[in-house]
Structure 1
Amino acid sequence: MVIDCVRSIFEGVVADGLRRGSVRGASDPEIGRFAAAQGLTSVSVAVREVLRLIGAQQGLWSTGSDFGVIGVASDAKSCTVEALSALDNDFKDLAGLLVLSSHQGYAYYVIDGADLGLDDPPVWDVVAGESAGNGWQSVSSWFAATAPDVEDLRDVMESMAEMVINRRGPTISSR
């Protein structure tokens, strides 16, 4: 059921125009190494499915953030734990925490280690020096919320193309 939900979110974005080849999923051995690098033996069902879809190359998903088996640096967990130690937080298991993504070394999307046994655990939003809050009720809702808005991106690209054309001015052949 959780796997179907995650796949449905992905397929919906593809149906909206995301090129399937712009993302690459991670293999189970890569996901195992990703978990092991964070001192874990496994990840939740929903996390595994997200990583199987976009975990090796995220494409337009969470653009600008480090994500997945290649993007999340080996020190992301220790940086997150350090940030959380300086904040009031409701985490139950910092040692078992999983970092899903990081943004410029100060913002992190993470799962409390106490929730990793759930199929579709909540995702926390941690901002160093500012806050640690429960951002999404589940990995699948986080995945949907961070999905690229393909139509909006298409509009942006069309506007940028128009600006380039307008900046060029008249061509020799049109004079």
Structure 2
Amino acid sequence: MTRNSEEVIGKIRSIFEGVVVDGLRRESTTGASDEEIDLFAARQAVASVPVAVREVLRLIGIQPGLWSTGSDFGVDVVTMDTKSSAHVILSAMDNEFKDPAGMLVLSSHQGYSYYVIDGADLGMDDPPVWDVVEHVNAGNGWTSVSDWFAATAPDVEDLRDVMEWMAESGNQPLWADDLRPL
């Protein structure tokens, strides 16, 4: 493992631990094993998984909890069918992908929005993440996987505000157990 790989892993873990310190229950997420991550890559016909992606999946790759609410995310959810759908949308737009056929899909949202990594960037430890949205965008959303991970992290303070507001009306969200008490 290179020094850069260790730094990337440390950054991903730091982002995760920061959200846990803010109040996300660690038990609300379940990470994937390296074997499950390798199957995730194989299902997308991808030979390698960048260090940052692998570490994200080790933390939240099976059950992301509040991290990726409303999205299809995880090693068992994102498949070649997901990748094929993303590829169809991407090929209908002007884009700057160098290797669209080799891309790795991280997540999808209702079949029209995808977070992907260009196949040409899979050799990087912490590659850029593209935001591919049908009829809208095929742009570089984040400069790195670690920036994407930080940007998609649940905002625990906002979630607590929602819980408080719901409690005032006599309701409790299904995800309330994912947060530590105030």
Q: TM-score, normalised by structure 1?
A: 0.92
Count of residues in Structure 1 that have an aligned counterpart in Structure 2: 165
Q: Could you tell me whether the CA contact under 8 Å between 2:30 and 2:59 is conserved in 1?
A: yes
Q: Secondary structure at the match of 2:158?
A: helix
User: Which of 19, 25, 30 does residue 25 from structure 2 map onto?
Assistant: 19
Query: Alpha-carbon deviation of 1:74?
Result: 3.4
2:136 and 2:14 mapped to 1: Cα distance?
34
User: Which of 58, 62, 67 does residue 61 from structure 1 map onto?
Assistant: 67
Stretches of 4+ moved more than 2 A in 1?
A: none
Aligned sequence identity (%): 73
* Structure 1: segments with no counterpart, 5+ residues: 166-175
Q: Secondary structure at the match of 1:69?
A: coil
- 1:39-54 counterparts in 2 under 5 A? 39-54=45-60
Q: Is 1:123 aligned to 2:153, yes or no?
A: no
- 1:56-95 counterparts in 2 under 5 A? 56-95=62-101
Q: TM-score, normalised by structure 2?
A: 0.89
For the pair shown, which has the larger CA radius of gyration, 1 or 2?
1
Q: Secondary structure at the match of 1:33?
A: helix
Match of 1:139 in 2: 145
User: Which of 158, 162, 167 does residue 156 from structure 1 map onto?
Assistant: 162
Query: Alpha-carbon deviation of 1:73?
Result: 3.8
1:78 and 1:20 mapped to 2: Cα distance?
33
Alignment-mate amino acid for residue 117 of structure 2:
I
1:100 and 1:27 mapped to 2: Cα distance?
16
Alignment-mate amino acid for residue 47 of structure 1:
V
Cα RMSD, aligned residues only: 0.9
* Structure 2: segments with no counterpart, 5+ residues: 1-6, 172-182
